[in-house]
Structures are given as structure tokens and as C-alpha cells.
Structure 1
Amino acid sequence: MTTTTIPLALGAMMFGTTIDERTSFALLDRFVEAGGTWIDTADCYSFWASDTGFGGQSEAVLGRWLAANPGVRERVRLSTKVGAEPIGDGEWPASREGLSRRAIREAIAGSLERLGVDRVDLLWAHMEDRTTPIEETAETFSELVDEGVAVQLGASNHPAWRMERARAHAVAIGGTPFSALQLSRSLLVPRPGTRPAGQNHRFGLMSDEQVDFAVENGMDLWAYTPLLSGAYDNPAKTIDPVFDHPGSTARLGALDAVAAEVGATRGQVVLAWLTGGTTPILPILGGSRLEQLDAALTGVQLELTDDQRARLDAPA
């Protein structure tokens, strides 16, 4: 199971594209200095912002940072994903590498080369591939653990039933099952049947069923976009309209009240709410400035009272 000194993962999605290398290095240095361990990336980051239309920039920046800081590899844990990198000239996401045995092995080989390492601490299946039997995906991921290429296995943007099937197959063959789920999670939840702008994964929003599945199976939970891309605190950003419903109004009221009580920002309270609950969830911060990282590091170390947490949970 994943463990971390600071309950926060540093998201490296935009490193090497919209976040230049100098800033990326500064964020990484600050994160490690503060006791952070998990760094999250993917082989496809960030194809949509690159000049080539393909990913790999984030992993390459991380590789250069690791090379420039001898010994730091033993202080950090690398989390990367495969399965979503575009291939050819077809339209994404229909045209992507997928999760076949061949695709997984080719993808992780590229990731290791860019990162300059011989293993990753957590390898994720990035998004579903219904063209490949989930059993084939589970077997291949398990093989990579046996070969020392990956330490732990996770799946992002997969429904619970697919994970149940994958885990059962891995156990049946005496292999290593998926033990982590990464999905989008925040204090606010969208209206039923809707997805926030940019959420192109059918099962990308963390549901109560997925949480229950993870708890019952002792799986770690990771949350991406926990701060709604800064909309909680940045006046220049608006909260997506899919969150505009009475439940959100009530939760924002409770959030404002708790933030005032603890002397923190909305975002910091949201991070504390995620990390300190009965079911801890590890948030991934994708900020681009040092002050954003510092605020998040403070937020995940806030301790909310049972009463404060109950008020945040109540208006669901």
C-alpha cells in the first residue's frame, strides 16, 4: 500500500509544456524539501499542449531533474500511467496506445527511458481499453511487478466492476492485483448525469461505489482535480456550471464557515477534508506556482474537528 510523509502527490502533468523546466525544477525541489514523496505523471503528458501532438514531455523533465539531483530518487516515489498516449493521426481518444500486452510493454519501456530509471513505484492503467480483455491487461501489469519494473499497480478512470474482474483474475493466476484507484474527487459533486468540462472519462468521477470497493479491498485512493483547477479560491476562475445545484450551495456555505474558523482558504480546507477522513484520499496537486504548492502543503496538514467534517459532509 502507498505511504507518504506528506499526504499530497505532486502532479507533473504540465511540466515541459505550459510549465517550463526551470519552474518545474523549483516545484520539485520545494516539494521534496517539504517532505513530499509521490510525484505523479503519465506517458501522454501533455500531448494536447505540445508542439508535436504527442506526450512524454513531463517524464522527460522529471528524468532530467532526477539526473541533476543524485540521491533524490531514493527520497521520491514515481507514479506514471500508460494507455492514453495518442498514436498515428486518428482522433483521440479513439486513436490511443491502449492496454494490450504489447502496448503496455512498449509504453513502460518508453517511460523508463525518459525518466532514466529502471522501475516505477506505481504504474497506472490510465483509461479503459474495452478492445483488450481486462484479463490481458491485469496479467501484463502483474508480470511487470514480477520483473521488478513496477512496485505497485493502479487503475485510473475505470469502473469498479472492471477492477473487480481484473483483481480476481490476477489473484487466480497467483499474480499481483491492482491496489490503487485514481479518479476525480472534490468536495463538490456535479449534477447526476453530467461531467465537468474536460472530463472525458466515462468513469472518471469518484463515486461512492468506487470508494466502497476500494475500502473493502484495502485499495489506495488518489484524487485528481481536487481543487477544481483553482476555482475555489481564484476569482478569475468560475466553478463549472455542472456543480450549480442546491447541494453545492449548501456545501460552499459550510466550506466558507469552516475556512473562517480554521483561518485557511477554501482549497486548503478541501485538501484537509480529503486527506483526514475515515477513508483517506491522496490528492494530486497540479499547480504551476510555488505559492500554490506551499498553500497545498499547509492544507493537507490541517486537522478538522469531527463537527467541522460533519458539516462539510452533510449537504451532499
Structure 2
Amino acid sequence: MRQRTLADGTTVSALCLGAMWFGTRTDEATAFAILDRFVEAGGSVIDTADNYAFWTENGAGGESEAVLGRWLADRGARDQVVISSKVGAQPTVPGTSWRESGEGLSAGAIRSAVEGSLRRLGTDRIDVYWAHVEDRTVPIEETVDAFASLVEQGTVGVVGASNYALWKVERARATARGQGRPGYTCLQLRHSYLRPRLDVTAPDDHVFGNVDAETLDYVRSEPDMSLWAYSPLLSGAYARPDRPLLPAYDHPGTPARLAALREVADKIGATVNQVVLAWLMGGDPPVIPVVGVSSVEQLDEALAAADLELDEELRRHLDIAGDLDG
């Protein structure tokens, strides 16, 4: 499997396993089987969060980290994997949303959350620790200091920003640089092959920070920055008729890009999902897709994309589909 190198020199697999549903929609036995297969195939980076998955019927937050922690202990696998987790969006009042009572990104909230995550994961270190969503009620300096302190103490390897406006990322990075301290070197946003309209609000209670041309230019210009994509397969919408596209993808460019995707998949004997993942991983800049699966079979499909290379002609065909001048 292809590899990527993070700012601190940590090597991770080019494909990241998303563990959002472990312990809620995905039972523990299935989660263990998925994790076993992922590591067996050369996968190394696993993404979770302290609030996964509080919004499900049987969830309160922390279930995903707890299942992952039990797997790490049972398999003795801590040194085989890179753990990515997040802070900021766990509700502090049961029955409310993260918007209403999210823990936020104050120094106290970050310290408390990392202690809880370490306990559930059964480890003394989180390799990649994310600000899950923006918190504009807290000064940037306070959040930057709290994350930098975790890195300096060795509790955290590198830190990243998820669902952040680009200007806020750069302001936080500039603050850290000015102090000579560790800052955000990972950026996680919603990103896939289809392009969303930016004037359509997401229909659910989430912040969908989308990757655009400016985001890609920014990451290219920052040698220490890695770009991670959540929901790269749009929750199954590429392959499953029962999973319609979000309204943001309802525009004239979408049919042309879907047609190009199917053409490339047919030409190389791959699935549409595999082409999407290969397009992301082999792009400029390369993207680390965070892929959630509910079975080993789904994981195997994603794993087959990890070493799939798209030649220049195929990539250009995909890149220009749906363009006005394409």
C-alpha cells in the first residue's frame, strides 16, 4: 500500500480507515474483523473522535474510541497503527447536538477531552489530534497553546484542523509559527470526486467544509501540510441507488463527471468507488481518504484502490469532465 509522511516524520498508509460507527451501527465483532483485515493488508492509520457516535440511537459518544481501545489491547497492536482522534464536538448535555452544547476548544475542554480519549483508547499517546469543528467563542491563541502543549509534552504527535475555514487555519498556523511552537499540519475536510455547489447548505446538523481550488493551492504551497478527506464516497451514493446524492451535487456538472467516472471504471476493470479513491490518493496534492466501511467485503473493495494508478490520460479525462471548457 502507498504511504504518506506526516510533518513529524510519521509514516501512514495512503488510505485511512474511518471508525465512526464502531460500537454503534457496527458491532464489536465486525469492527474487530475490519480492523484485523485493514492491518493485515498494510493499512496503518485509523480515524476516530471522542463524540462518535453520540447521535445514533444507542450512542452517547466515546463508543468508537472504546471499541478501538479494546481491539488495540486484545491484539497488542498499538505499535502497528497510527491513531487519529478529535476534540470539540462532543455534547456536554445529553440529548442535545454539538451545536447546542459541544465541548468546544477551550484549553480546559481540550485537556479534559484528551484525557478521556487516552483512557478509552488505552494508550498514552494520540498520533494525530484534531480540532473537530471551529470554536469561534475561544481565542485562537488559547486553542493553539493547548494543542501545542500536548505536542510538546509528547501526548500528541501532530495536530490538525477539521471543518475549518481556510483563513482560520492559516491564522492559527501563523500564531503557532510566531511563537515557535507546533501548529496545525493536517487538514480534514469533506472532499470527493464530484464537486458540490457552495451555495447549498447541508441538510443535517453538521459543518461540511468542502475542498475547493483554493484549498488545493494552499496545501500545495505548504510542504508540511497533509490533506485528509472524509466522506470520500459520499455515503455510498456513487454505487447505491438507495443513497441519493446530497442537494449540493444537483447541478449541470454532475452528470458529466459521473459519466466520466463510469467510463474510466469500465476501461480499467475497477469499481466506481475504487476510481474515486485512486483519483484522490494520486492527485496533486495527494489526499488521504478516510473511508468508513461496515463489512470486510466493503473494506476489501477500498483496499484494492490503494495501489490503483490512473495514468495521465485517464486522470485528465476525469479532471476536465463537467468543466465549461472541457
TM-score in terms of structure 1 length: 0.95
Matching residue of 1:221: 227
The 1:94–1:212 alpha-carbon spacing in structure 2 relative to 1, beyond 3 Å, is: farther
Shift of residue 200, structure 1, vs aligned partner? 1.9
Superimposed CA distance per residue, residues 277-313 of structure 1 (whole angstroms, 9 cap, x where no aligned partner): 1210000111101111000011121110111111111
Q: Is the 8 A contact 1:142 1:177 kept in 2?
A: yes
Q: Distance in 2 between matches of 1:265 and 1:259?
A: 6
Identity of aligned residues (%): 52
Query: Structure 1 residues 26, 145: closer, same or farther in 2, change over 3 A?
Result: same
Deviation >6 Å, runs of 4+ = none
CA contact (8 A) 2:12 2:82 kept: no
Going from structure 1 to structure 2, the CA distance change for 1:283 and 1:195 (only over 3 Å counts) comes to: farther
Q: Distance in 1 between matches of 2:86 and 2:98?
A: 17
How far residue 199 of structure 1 moved from its aligned partner, in angstroms, is 6.5
The one of 39, 44, 69 aligned to 1:32: 39
Residue of structure 1 equivalent to 2:170: 164
1:199, 1:211 → 2: CA distance? 26
Give 1:5 deviation, angstroms. 5.9
Amino acid at match of 2:144: A
State whether residues 220 and 284 of structure 2, in contact with CA within 8 Å, keep that contact through their aligned partners in structure 1.
Answer: no
* Pairing of 1:1-316 with structure 2 (within 5 A): 1-2=5-6, 4=11, 6-51=13-58, 54-70=60-76, 72-89=77-94, 90-198=96-204, 200-201=206-207, 204-218=209-223, 219-314=225-320, 315-316=322-323
Equivalent residue of 1:151, what SS?
strand
**Contact preservation (8 Å) 1:39, 1:78:** yes
Question: Structure 2 CA distance, aligned partners of 1:37 and 1:62?
Answer: 13
Question: What is the distance in 2 between the residues matched to 1:153 and 1:128?
Answer: 14
Query: How many matched pairs?
Result: 313
| Letter paired with 2:27 | D
What one-letter code is carried by the residue in structure 2 that aligns with 1:134?
I
Task: Say which SS state the counterpart of residue 304 (structure 2) adopts.
Answer: helix
**How far apart, CA to CA, are the structure 1 residues paired with 2:202 and 2:255?**
17
Q: Which runs of 5+ in 2 are unaligned?
A: none
Q: 1:119·1:148 contact (CA, 8 Å) conserved in 2?
A: yes
- The offset of 1:212, in angstroms, is 1.8
Distance 1:269 1:102 in 2: 43
Q: Residues 192-241 of structure 1, C-alpha deviation per residue, up to 9 Å, x if partnerless?
A: 3114444621x511222222222212200000000011111123322223
